[in-house]
Structure 1
Amino acid sequence: MSFYKLGVKGDLVYALSTQNIIDPTPIQVLSIPLILKGHDLIAEAQTGTGKTLAFLIPIFQQINLEDDHIQALVVAPTRELAIQIRSVADQLSEIIPVSALAAYGGQDVLAQIHKLQGRIQLVIGTPGRVQDHLRRGSIDFSKLKTVIVDEADQLFHIGFKKDLAEIFSYVPDIHQTLCFSATIGDTVDQFSKDYLKSPKTVVAPKAKVTLDAIEQFILETSGRRKLDDFVALLKQTYPQKAIIFCRSRRGTHALYEALKEKGYSIEPLHGDLTQAKREVVMTAFRNDEIQYLVATDVAARGLDVDGVSHVFNYNLPDDAENYVHRIGRTGRAGNMGVAYTILTEKDAKRMEAVEAFIQMKINRFSFQRK
Structure 2
Amino acid sequence: MQDNAQNETIEQEVQPTLTFQDLGLKKQILNSVKKAGFTVPSPIQAQAIPVVLSGRDMVGQAHTGTGKTAAFGLPALNNMKRDNGVEVLVITPTRELATQVSDELFKYGKDLGVRTTTIYGGSSYKRQLDLIKRGAGIVVATPGRLLDILKRDMLEDFAPSMVILDEADEMLDMGFLDDINEIFSYLPTNRQTLLFSATMPKPIKLLAERILENPEFISITKGETTNADISQEYYVIDESERDDAIIRLMDAENTGKSVVFCRTKSEVDRLSNVLSNAGYLANGLHGDMEQRQRETVISGFKKNSVKVLVATDVAARGIHVNNITHVFNYHIPFDPESYVHRIGRTGRAGTKGKAITLLTPHEFKELQKIKKKVGTTMEHAYVPSKNDLKENSLKTMVKTIEEHKIYDEAHKVLDMLKQDIDEETIMYKLVSMLLDKQSVKGPADIGIPAEKLTKILERLEKQGDRNGSTRGRSRGHGNYRGRSSNRNSSRTRRGNNNGGRNKYKDYNKK
Q: Would the alpha carbon gap of residues 167 and 222 (structure 1) be closer, same or farther in structure 2, given more than 3 Å must change?
A: same
- Within 2, Cα distance between the matches of 1:333 and 1:60? 22
Distance change >3 Å, CA 352–CA 281, structure 1 → 2? same
What SS does structure 2 have at the residue aligned with 1:364?
A: coil
Does 2:384 correspond to 1:367? Answer: no
CA contact (8 A) 2:88 2:161 kept: yes
Q: What SS does the corresponding residue of 2:271 show, helix, strand or coil? A: helix
Matched, 1:3 2:82: no
Aligned to 1:131: 147
For 1:96, the equivalent position in structure 2 comes to 112
1-structure distance, mates of 2:344, 2:213: 35
State the match for 1:291 in structure 2: 307
Matches for 1:150-299 after TM superposition, within 5 Å: 150-206=166-222, 214=231, 217-231=233-247, 239=255, 241-256=257-272, 259=275, 265-299=281-315
Q: Which has the higher contact order (CA 8 A, sep 6+)?
A: 1
Seq. identity, %: 35
Match for residue 17 of structure 1 among 26, 34, 37: 34
2-structure distance, mates of 1:353, 1:21: 37
Give the partner amino acid of 2:364.
Answer: A
Partner of 1:77: 93
Gap change, CA 1:6 and 1:237, over 3 Å in 2: closer
Q: Does structure 1 retain, via aligned residues, the 8 Å contact 2:230–2:355?
A: no
1:205: Cα distance to partner? 4.4
Per-residue CA distance 1:299-357 (angstroms, 9 max, x = gap)? 33454435545432101223446545534545678977554322124532222334553
Q: State the SS of the aligned residue for 1:349.
A: helix
Please tell me whether residue 311 in structure 1 is matched to residue 390 in structure 2: no
Which of 50, 58, 71 matches 1:54? 71
Taking a change above 3 Å as real, the CA distance of residues 244 and 133 of structure 1, as seen in their structure-2 partners, is: same
Q: Give the counterpart letter for 1:293 in structure 2.
A: L
Deviation of residue 364 (structure 1)? 3.2
Q: Is the 8 A contact 1:79 1:275 kept in 2?
A: no
Q: Does the aligned pair in 1 maintain the 2:238–2:447 contact within 8 Å?
A: no
CA RMSD of aligned residues (A): 3.0
**Equivalent residue of 1:74, what SS?**
strand
Partner residue, 1:358: 376
The question of whether the paired residues in 2 share the 8 Å contact of 1:313 and 1:342 is answered with yes
Q: Which has the larger radius of gyration?
A: 2
Query: Which residue of the partner structure matches residue 349 of structure 1?
Result: 365
The structure-2 alpha-carbon separation of the partners of 1:252 and 1:30, relative to structure 1 and needing over 3 Å to count, comes to same
Change (3 A) 1:97 1:368: closer
Aligned partner (choices 112, 120, 125) of residue 109 of structure 1: 125
Q: How many residues align?
A: 367
User: Would you say the 8 A contact 2:234–2:358 is kept in 1?
Assistant: yes
The structure richer in helix per residue is 2
Whole-angstrom CA distance in 1 between matches of 2:77 and 2:68: 14
8 Å CA contact 1:226–1:344 kept in 2: the answer is no
The structural deviation recorded for 1:187 is 0.8
Aligned mates of 2:43, 2:352 — CA distance in 1: 26
**Counterpart amino acid of 1:150?**
D
Aligned to 2:402: none
Residue in 2 aligned with 1:32? 49
TM-score, structure 2 normalization: 0.64
- Distance in 1 (CA, whole Å) between partners of 2:52 and 2:347 is 34
CA distance in 2, matches of 1:24, 1:191: 29
Offset of residue 271 of structure 1: 2.9
User: What SS does the aligned partner of 1:106 have?
Assistant: coil
Amino acid at match of 1:15: S
